[in-house]
Amino acid sequence: MNVSGIDVSAKELMVAIAGERPVTPQGFVNRHDGFGEVLEWLREHQVKRVVMEATGVYHLDLALYLHSAKDIEVMVLNPKAAKHFAEARQTRTKTDRVDANSLAEFGQRMPFEPWQPPSDQVLALRACSRRLAALTHQRTQAKNQRHALTSTDSTPEFILEDVQLSIDQFDQQIKALQAKTVQLIAQDPQLQRPFELLLSVKGIGEKSAIQLLGELLALPKDMRAKQWVAMAGLDPRQHQSGSSVNRKTRISKAGNRHLRTALFMPALVVSHRVPQVRDYYEHLIQNRGLKKIQAICAVMRKLLHAIHAMWRTDTAFDPERFYRAQS
């Protein structure tokens, strides 16, 4: 049986095939029109199984597309398992082609576990959360535009009225969509309970909880908290080379920007409203020399760890476990 391994990146899909005859790996664009070309190429080479890594936002749409084809089974592999397999093969080179070939060989040699996609309710929730985020962003742009227009006396009054009308429309759309999304969540206990646990964090409101829920529930269930952090692009990234290059450590931003955006405002609010989180935030600035934005990113990471533990143990947020200042 021919098995394909697909290395998924933000812009490209590198597709390799392991079978009786060698096949040169092919690259395709990571867009919906590229998915059709991938499927056609797989069928041309009589591929029945596909293995890919869970890469946050980048792999999900492709996995859903191939899963819907019915004649191809999909396995979404934990990145840690793929790394250990490559190490066991003593792979010394890391390129997209090498990774794709390694995934294809994994599909041939290791037990194949068909991927179960997120439920229709989770996918619908993710669509709602991203639409809510888009509307909020558009409303912010309109408010910024209104502020710029009111800073000069040359702006006609009817222009200001038109911009205000847009802001009012966005307010109505956001309110209506948020209410419908809450109703959607209430209809499914698998969504309602995690939603309630998120709301137990003082500083996470309905809108932020919806956005976090839509992104986190779409991730594989067996992912660890550190993998959540990596998927959000909040993992630290060092840039050192020899003795002359030693730049400051920054977050990688190589992940789900929707999740990263959804975390920012809750982290900012809890850093002011929850005493234990505020102590942690101030500790990072005063004792570790972090800038304010760096401290907020650290709070975002720690908040992800807290949410992961809350869902795993089915317990509400406990600020005492978040941080305890040294006496």
Q: In the predicted model, is pLDDT for residue 178 greater than 60? A: yes
What integer is the mean pLDDT of 188-192? 94
pLDDT at 288 over 70: yes
Q: Which of 249, 274, 287, 238 is nearest to 302 (CA)?
A: 274
Task: Count other Cβ atoms within 10 Å, centred on residue 15.
Answer: 28
Share of the chain above pLDDT 70, in %: 93
Cβ–Cβ < 8 Å for 29, 47: no
Question: pLDDT digits over 92-151, tens only?
Answer: 778 889 999 999 999 998 999 898 888 999 999 999 999 999 999 999 999 999 999 999
Residue 245 scores a pLDDT above 50: no
Question: Domain spans of the chain?
Answer: 2-109, 120-216, 225-322
Is the pLDDT higher at 164 or at 249? 164
Q: How does residue 248 score in pLDDT terms, banded at 50, 70 and 90?
A: low
Say whether pLDDT at 259 is over 70: yes
Token look-up 């959804």 returns: 262
| Tally of CA atoms within 13 A in the half-sphere of 92 that contains its CB | 0
DSSP per-residue string spanning 177-194: HHHHHHHHHHT-HHHHHH
Q: Name the DSSP class of 198.
A: H
Q: Which amino acid makes up residue 139?
A: R
- CB–CB of 256/233 below 8 Å? yes
pLDDT at 253: 64
pTM of the model: 0.76
Decide if 112 contacts 73 (C-beta within 8 A). yes
Query: For residues 103 and 86, is the Cβ–Cβ distance under 8 A?
Result: no
Tens of pLDDT, residues 53-62:
876 567 888 9
- Inter-residue contact 213 to 195 (CB < 8 Å): yes
Task: Please check whether residue 213 is in contact with residue 219, taking contact to mean a CB–CB distance below 8 angstroms.
Answer: no
- Residues 6 or more apart whose CB falls under 8 angstroms from that of 259 comprise 56, 57, 212, 215, 216, 231, 232
Q: Which residue has the higher pLDDT, 196 or 218?
A: 196
By C-alpha distance, which of 234, 190, 195 is closest to 212?
A: 195
Angle at 118 between CA 82 and CA 39, to 5 degrees: 65
Q: What's residue 327's pLDDT? A: 60
| Phi, psi angle pair for 92, to nearest 5° | -105, -15
Q: Encode pLDDT of 9-55 as tens digits.
A: 888 999 999 988 888 999 999 988 899 999 999 999 999 999 998 76
One CATH from 3.40.1380.20, 3.30.420.40, 3.30.930.10, 3.90.76.10 for 2-109:
3.30.420.40
pLDDT of residue 241: 43
Q: Which helix (H) or strand (E) holds 81?
A: helix 79-88
- Alpha-helical segments (H) within 29-119: 32-44, 57-67, 79-88, 96-109
pLDDT for 244: 46
Beta strands 2-8 and 47-53, pairing class = parallel
CA distances from 23 to 44, 47, 96, 104, 111 (A): 12, 12, 15, 11, 23
